[in-house]
Amino acid sequence: MPKYIYEHKNWTDFSWDDKAINSVFGEVKLKQGRIIGQMNALGFSNKEDATLNALTLDVVKSSEIEGEILNYEQVRSSIARRLGINTAGLVSSSRHIEGIVEMMLDATQRYYLPLTEDRLLGWHAALFPAGYSGPYKIEVGKYRTGEMQIVSGAIGREKVHYEAVKSKLVKMEMDKFLDWFNSDSTLDLVLKAAIAHFWFIIIHPFDDGNGRIARALTDMLLAKSEGSGERFYSMSSQILIERKRYYDVLQSVQHSSKDISEWLNWFLNCLNKAMLMTEDAAQSILHKSVFWKLHENTPINERQRLIVNKLFDGFEGKLQSSKWAKITKVSSDTALRDIKDLIEKGILKQTNEKGRNANYELCAFELK
């Protein structure tokens, strides 16, 4: 079995090949600046909405990576309440969701505060308010005192994927990590986010929740790199899409001798794709904003407004009168009247299909 990276002397003196990451690193830095500019052009309420969406996705998707499905509306409502964002239809959230949201907002909204041991232990306690991970009682709000193995497979045929740093060394390794995390250096904060993620995962200081806390640390340093708690992209959403590769790269680099080029390259490419999705979303928000400005004096009822917004936000499948009736909870006749009214106003048009299969889409308009 090859040595783990932490078994090498001075293992945290990480190295990497600048040539291997320079191109994608440059793209990420460019997109980072461009996204902030695009979002500032959207106006306050759209920017607030984009932040709420990104933070909600980050919380939901980070838990989904670990196989836990959270209620999207509960997460969104919890974040909106804590940030003082007025949004319709707020719902109450479970104690568990409140704890996860608390951790994420502490990381992203108070990114400028030092990361202390007490703060980290508080995050861990917030993640597991009942002291259990599923049916298992775990050590909460403190570093693990037992050994940690990541295994899979049936009993008797287990496969060990990773054996973490010995428990007696965790405190020493975490003190070193926290000193580095809080120190000012010439290292770019985007690269620091990538290294922090990897370093924390290698130590695996807690009984459970290490992945979620590592991703929160990533978001904290990305927020610091932008000097703002406003979040417009979700790294966790992209990690979920690439989950298998995420674990494969971690498993590969955990056996390296200190060279983490492969991890940095994967991390930056993943971040680049997350930002690309956000650039597309910003264009969509801008499009929608221009449309409603164009039609601010056009009489449009609430049902029509609901469907038009859904079309801008990425309507699933094709829009037919039957779908309209179902979504807005009206009769087929009322749905058809709503649709015909929007066609007369030049907002919707019918596609080539006729009769019962008739589909409708938004008419093109000029972005001014």
Q: What is the pLDDT of residue 366?
A: 73
CATH 1.10.10.10 in the chain is located at 295-362
Confidence of residue 347 (pLDDT cuts 50, 70, 90): very high
| pLDDT > 90? residue 39 | no
Q: What is the pLDDT of residue 322?
A: 92
* Phi, psi at 216, each rounded to 5°: -65, -40
At 217-256, the pLDDT tens digits run 999 999 999 999 999 999 999 999 999 999 999 999 999 9
Residue 67 in tokens: 């196989």
Residue 117: partners with Cβ closer than 8 Å, 6 or more residues away: 174, 175, 178
Tell me the three state secondary structure of residue 365: coil
Tell me the three state secondary structure of residue 86: coil
Q: What is the pLDDT of residue 105?
A: 98
Q: What is the pLDDT of residue 309?
A: 86
CA distances from 115 to 171, 197, 235, 358 (A): 15, 14, 20, 57
CB 51 within 8 A of CB 232: yes
Tell me the three state secondary structure of residue 278: helix
Q: What would the CATH number be for the domain defined by 295-362?
A: 1.10.10.10
CATH topology of domain 5-286: Fic-like fold (1.10.3290)
CATH 1.10.3290.10 in the chain is located at 5-286
At 69-115, the pLDDT tens digits run 999 989 999 999 999 988 777 889 999 999 999 999 999 999 999 99
DSSP per residue over 103-161, as a string? HHHHHHHTTTS---HHHHHHHHHHH-TTSEETTEE---SS---S--EEEESSTTS-EEE
Residue type, 14: F
Q: What is the pLDDT of residue 229?
A: 94
Selection from 134, 129, 77, 84 nearest residue 103 by Cα: 129
